[in-house]
Structures are given as C-alpha cells and as structure tokens.
Amino acid sequence: MDIVQHEFEETLKRIQSQKDVFGVIVVKNNGDIITSTLDNRSSVSHAERIMKLADNAKSCVRNLDPSNELIVLRMGTKKREVLVKPGKDFIMIVLRKQNFKSLMRSIIANS
Amino acid sequence: MDIVQHEFEETLKRIQSQKDVFGVIVVKNNGDIITSTLDNRSSVSHAERIMKLADNAKSCVRNLDPSNELIVLRMGTKKREVLVKPGKDFIMIVLRKQNFKSLMRSIIANS
C-alpha cells in the first residue's frame, strides 16, 4: 500500500469512526464505487443522484463566477445531514445524523 | 404591516447585520425577487441559478427517501459560502464570507 493509499484509508477510518456518521461512500468520477458502508443498492442510488447534484452545484458556482469553485456541499434534511466533497478523481459522500445545532447555525436566523 | 411581515423584516435585518453576511436575496417560488442587497443583474442571475439548484437538491433528497425533505443547502466555495433555505412560498439565499473553521468541519477529515 503506497503513502497516498495509506492516507486515504486513515482518513476514511477517521470519518467512519465519528459517532454521528452512519454512512460513507467514495465514488470515482466515472461512477465506479470505490468503497461504501451502505448496501449495494443504496450505494448505487446515492452515488448516482448525489454525483449529478454535485455536478449541478459545481456548474452553478462556476456560472455565477468563473474564478470560483465548489469545495463542499452540505444538505441539511429532516432526517439526516449529507456532506459531499467533490475531488479531482473521486467524490466523497458522508451521511451523518442531523446535528440540529449546526442546522440552526446554517439557517442562521438565530445565530 | 402585519405580524408575519414584521417577523420577516426582523429576521432579514438580523441576518443582514451579521458581520460575515454580504448579501441576502429573497425570491418568491415563482421567480419574483422580493428583496435583495445585490445589484439587479446579480440578484437575477443568483436567483435563477440557485433556485434551479435548490429544486434539484429537493428532488435528490426526496428521490433517495420519499419521506425525507430538504431543510437547508450550504455550498462552501473557494471565495464564499452560500446558504439556501427553501420555503413554502419563497427561498432565501444568504451569501457570506467563507468561514474556514466551519468549512473544515464540513469536510470533517480533521474534525
């Protein structure tokens, strides 16, 4: 295992070990799933739909300002939080329990 | 001004007064801009593109789980953070300076 691979595995372990995290999916930009803690069917449907959304978000950011770039996309939903980190070669999707404190900060009406 | 309108104005004022916030746009779901602190051209392009993205995000969440619902969408970008709060009648878009601490928490590799 080379250094890059080792660091990747360590990062994955660290993310998965967080108490709020219940799912991690890493998908190559060509759609191949590299690793996932979800069952196969959920992994495929999450990968497919979320990659499409991340592409839309990247275009949205770039169209508003060609010198800008998407770094991370977060969706606070009624049931959980979805974090999406698009990268050069792959995209990482992290599912975690809804953090209502963080959610309220996001809504910022009360921050 | 009725109570709802008053609360709306107060919420807007509170958000706009935050030191990191440099833009707020509120758009009716039919695309009409209710209020914006950006110039007309930027308001229209932001409203148009971000509403479309928020619709995609809503569909993505619902398609993955029909009983789930998008509450808030956040985009961390190289230059700034974009918060999107879709509502029943209107959508609120808040532009604020990139908060790198919050961004790193989002990426969660080091949290």
State the smallest CA–CA distance between residue A25 and chain B in angstroms. 14
For the stretch A78-86, contacts whose Cβ atoms lie closer than 8 Å and that sit 24 or more positions apart, written own/partner, are A78/B68, A78/B69, A78/B71, A79/B65, A79/B67, A79/B68, A80/A22, A80/B68, A82/A50, A82/B61, A83/B106, A83/B107, A83/B108, A84/A50, A84/A53, A84/A54, A84/A57, A85/B107, A86/A54, A86/A58
Higher pLDDT, A100 or B47: B47
Write down the ipTM of this complex.
0.87
Amino acid B9 reads E
Q: What CA–CA distance (Å, rounded) separates A97 from A37?
A: 15
Q: Which residues of A touch B111 (CB under 8 A)?
A: 18
**Tens of pLDDT along B51-79?**
999 999 999 999 999 999 999 999 999 99
For testing contact with chain A, the best of B10, B108, B110, B111 (most A CBs within 10 A) = B108
What CA–CA distances, in Å, run from B23 to A66, B17, B26, B81, B89? 19, 10, 10, 11, 20
Q: What CA–CA distance (Å, rounded) separates A15 from A7?
A: 12
pLDDT at A1: 61
**Tens of pLDDT along B1-55?**
677 788 888 888 888 888 889 999 999 999 999 999 999 999 999 999 999 999 9
CB contact under 8 A, B61 and A77: yes
Amino acid B65 reads D
